[in-house]
Amino acid sequence: MRILVFTGKGGTGKTTVAAATGLRCAENGKKTLMLSTDPAHSLSDVVSVNLGDHSPKKISENLYGLEIDSQSLMEEKWEVVLKYLTQLFTARGFDKALASEMVVIPGMDELFSLLTIRQYINDYDVIVLDTAPTGHTLRLMSFPEVLGSLGRNLVELEKIILEELKPLRMLLPVSLPGADVQKVTDSLIEEAMEVREMLVDPTITTVKLVVNPEKMVLLESMRTLTFMNLFGFLVDGVVVNRLLPDEINDPYFVRWKQQQAEYMNQIDEAFDPLPILPVPLFQEEIIGITLLRKVADALYHDKDPTDTLTTERPFQLVQQDNGNYELIIKLPFSEKRELSIEHDRNTLVIRVGKYKRVLYLPTVVRDLDIEKANFDENELKILFIKE
């Protein structure tokens, strides 16, 4: 079983890349499901099949697709809890319509779309996840862990509080949550943690970033890579989409090609050691199976999309017992005398001879000072300390 996740800034072409990947997997004989969690679905448009129903629809041999209606899914699965929370707010004097809006926790609809994976995990060989633009994806991918870590503590706290309040239940303005509410919340936490375990298992799930050779896209993708690394997701490749082909010689595109070449150098520096998968700009909009097959050919050639391209992670961040953080970066084939480090609040620039590596720093260490940096056995270890 494999889960292939594609994410990137809006407009980079990740839906096209995801659909081409799903098609190649299916044509390789694997029963494949493409799931879209993007609220602004475009997967149907790309494959020219309406995928908006509540169950997967066949697109071609071995290939199925579904655009998830996350709002409806949340209202269905979370109905008991939503009703209870609405009751709490209306008891405090809020208008019922307003209360209904207030009880929807940000990210819950996205969480339910992600939990859909559990429903189909045993029915398909491959699930290709076409996600929303990066900001939504970060929340989507982190929610199972956040919910799990908070939820378990909250459930225990809830049980203690409810036990203490039982003698006073007749005096309370609203009834205490019943067993049905507790059952739904407990079940949701368990399901979220199951999905979390699948997503961080590198033998099951890998993530590919889809980028264009543009400044804003590059910066956002660097942030995404940092996030994915911190939460334990294995990013095994970067797809650089819409590269101008070499055969374009029109003078109008000279500067565009120069800029793309410059950004390709930055992409190589920023994402090393991850494999870079270039995809050219095609002459027409990619719609339908025939053109998706061309994208798959350019992207994978004769390789299997389900192969993991690398298990190497760009860095590790380890929190020490005293609250300090150690950043561990693998720098194979480097020598200490070649190393130099530049640090500002957001980024860390590492130079090794003529090569440069740029890391977008996690939030937890941005305001910390570097106390020391050691290089030993091809690993650079940087200690961030609190004042």
- The pLDDT tens digits of the residues spanning 319-350 come to 888 889 999 887 765 677 778 888 887 788 88
Higher pLDDT, 165 or 212: 212
CB of 199 within 8 A of CB of 141? yes
pTM equals: 0.79
- From CA 265, how far away is CA 333, in angstroms rounded? 20
CATH code, 334:
2.60.40.790
Contact 73, 116 (CB under 8 A): yes
Cis ω before 273 (30° cut-off from 0): yes
Residues 132, 267: one domain?
yes
d(CA 44, CA 33): 13
Burial class (CB in 10 A: 0-12, 13-18, 19+), 75: middle
Q: What is the pLDDT of residues 100-136, one digit of tens each?
A: 665 566 556 667 777 888 899 999 999 999 987 755 5
What is the C-alpha to C-alpha distance for residues 6 and 154, in angstroms, rounded to an integer? 32
Task: Write the Ramachandran bin of 323: left for phi over 0, alpha for psi from -120 to 50, otherwise beta.
Answer: left
CATH number for 262:
3.40.50.300
| Residue with the larger pLDDT of the pair 355 and 95 | 95
First-to-final CA distance of the chain? 47
Average pLDDT over every residue of 141-159: 51
Same domain? For 236 and 118 the reply is yes
pLDDT at 361 over 80: yes
pLDDT at 208: 96
**Residue 39: DSSP 8-state:** S
- Averaged over 94-104, what is the pLDDT? 65
Alpha-carbon span 330 to 125, nearest angstrom: 33
At 149 the pLDDT is 47
Domain end marker among 243, 266, 300: 300
In a shared domain, residues 127 and 222: yes
pLDDT (0 to 100) of residue 163: 53
Give yes or no for residue 298 having a pLDDT over 80: yes
Scan for tokens 């097959």, then name that residue.
Answer: 293
